[in-house]
Amino acid sequence: MAKSVKLNTGAEMPIVGLGTWKSPPGKVTEAVKAAIAAGYRHIDGAFVYQNETEVGEGINAMVKDGVVKREELFVVSKLWCTFHEKALVKGACQKTLSDLRLDFLDLFLMHLPMGFQAGSELFPLDSEGLAITDGTNFLDTWEAMEELVDAGLVKAIGISNFNKDQIETLLNKPGLKYKPVTNQIECHPYLTQEKLISYCQSKGISVTAYSPLGSPDRPWAKPDDPSVLDDPNIKAIAQKYKKTSAQVLIRFQVQRNVIVIPKSITPQRIQENFQVFDFELTKEEMKIILGFNRSWRACTMHWGVKHKDYPFNTEF
Ligand SMILES: NC(=O)c1ccc[n+]([C@@H]2O[C@H](COP(=O)([O-])OP(=O)(O)OC[C@H]3O[C@@H](n4cnc5c(N)ncnc54)[C@H](OP(=O)(O)O)[C@@H]3O)[C@@H](O)[C@H]2O)c1
């Protein structure tokens, strides 16, 4: 049986979802359809992936064909950094909804705690290649996101790429109306995130693991970078269960009650990545996998390093 995680709103979020970053517009509609046909009920998208129209086509086709009802799906999108000014948040959400051709999102995340200069550039960079701030405070952006819940545009709101101090700042915000339901962060055996996961879960905030396979198709990958999918120790565990490395990497998150969103545009892999509910890693294997941590990030968001709200220069 596919599992879900109960959010602090009471809603259930399917524990395995389909990632869509880097999924080309010409491929993602079929990927979404293949995922829903395989049993996925959770799709992870974002405005900045520049494919939401095509993601929506896949969702709407499956609803129209009667394969799934809209209420059975859990659709996630994210507020991009150039829309952090309070006055821009609602329009950004409405743009995503109109691209997806949906009336509401199940979850809208603040993609990063960093606000960037508003405008048509998704990555407004200075002469050093560093992101130009818009001077906003993510607490104000959060207030505008809370209004989306009240307006019925989104069922829940959450955060992504927030570190512990930033979450604490948000939770201590005077007049906080809605707590984030999830923090979507990079997580795999080379970045196990034990401290941040345990902090989030202790505060009633679920965790969603992005790049669970180590994001091998990230555009800046170098040949010498570590590869979790090729890790011989992961392969050995996979062999024991007659499973693939990808399935072990996904199962590893499921067993920690961490929601996980592997991306694929390959129908056979989309199916494979969902076949993770028929085996169980032992406690010992879970511990061994946690021991592979090397605090390695696939997504360092290097253009943000000098931003006042860059999240990755604290311990966790
Ligand atoms: N919040 C954020 O800042 C943030 C950042 C990064 C990612 N995300 C989200 O998380 C999702 C997943 O992360 P990701 O896209 O970085 O990387 P990922 O899911 O770790 O890896 C995707 C890559 O793995 C390949 N793959 C998928 N299944 C496989 C299998 N069973 N065997 C072998 N290879 C397989 C895919 O190839 P094919 O597609 O060619 O099959 C693709 O190249 C994203 O798509 C996005 O939705 C969010």
Per-residue model confidence as pLDDT tens digits over 269-311: 999 999 999 999 999 999 999 999 999 999 999 999 999 999 9
CA 126 to chain CA centroid, Å, is 27
Query: Using the 8-state DSSP alphabet, how is residue 15 labeled?
Result: S
Using the structure block, give the residue that is written with the tokens 């896949």. 58
Give the position, in ligand 1's atom list, of the atom nearest the Cα of 112: 3
| CB 211 less than 6 A from any atom of ligand 1 | yes
Calculate how far, in angstroms, residue 39's C-alpha sits from the geometric centre of ligand 1: 18
Residues 92-121 pLDDT 10s: 999 999 999 999 999 999 999 999 999 999
* pLDDT value at residue 236: 98
Residues 133-166 pLDDT 10s: 999 999 999 999 999 999 999 999 999 999 999 9
Q: Are 102 and 53 in contact (CB under 8 A)?
A: no
How big is the chain, counted in residues? 316
Calculate how far, in angstroms, residue 20's C-alpha sits from the geometric centre of ligand 1: 7
| CB 263 less than 6 A from any atom of ligand 1 | yes
Using the structure block, give the residue that is written with the tokens 């969702």. 59
* pLDDT value at residue 262: 99
* pLDDT value at residue 192: 98
Give the percent of the chain with pLDDT over 90.
Answer: 99
pLDDT band at 268; cut points 50, 70, 90:
very high
Question: Which of 273, 110, 244, 246 is CA-nearest to residue 188?
Answer: 246
Calculate how far, in angstroms, residue 261's C-alpha sits from the geometric centre of ligand 1: 8
Average pLDDT, the chain: 98
Which one is catalytic: 40, 49, 190, 199? 49
Global pTM? Answer: 0.99
Give the percent of the chain with pLDDT over 70.
Answer: 99
What distance in Å separates the CA atoms of residue 85 and residue 136, rounded to the nearest whole number?
Answer: 6
| CB 299 less than 6 A from any atom of ligand 1 | yes
Residues 234-260 pLDDT 10s: 999 999 999 999 999 999 999 999 999
Average of per-residue pLDDT across 6-35: 98
Residues 206-221 pLDDT 10s: 999 999 999 999 999 9
Pocket test for ligand 1, best of 123, 213, 231 (most atoms within 8 A of CB): 213
Q: Angle at Cα 270 formed by Cα 268 and Cα 271, nearest 5°?
A: 65
Helices and strands counted in the chain (H then E): 10, 10
Residue 1 has pLDDT above 90, yes or no: no
| CB 216 less than 6 A from any atom of ligand 1 | yes
| CB 212 less than 6 A from any atom of ligand 1 | yes
Catalytic residue flag (residue 199): no
Give the position, in ligand 1's atom list, of the atom nearest the Cα of 111: 1
Calculate how far, in angstroms, residue 277's C-alpha sits from the geometric centre of ligand 1: 19
Pocket test for ligand 1, best of 111, 264, 272, 276 (most atoms within 8 A of CB): 264
> Token digits for 15?
């524990």
| CB 273 less than 6 A from any atom of ligand 1 | yes
pLDDT band at 2; cut points 50, 70, 90:
low
42 is in an annotated binding site: no
Q: What torsion, rounded to 10 degrees, do the Cα atoms 248, 253, 254, 255 define? A: 90
| CB 250 less than 6 A from any atom of ligand 1 | no
Pocket test for ligand 1, best of 52, 77, 210, 252 (most atoms within 8 A of CB): 210
Q: How many CB atoms lie within 10 A of CB 178?
A: 17
What DSSP line would sit under 26-64, residue for residue?
Answer: HHHHHHHHHHHHHT--EEE--GGGT-HHHHHHHHHHHHH
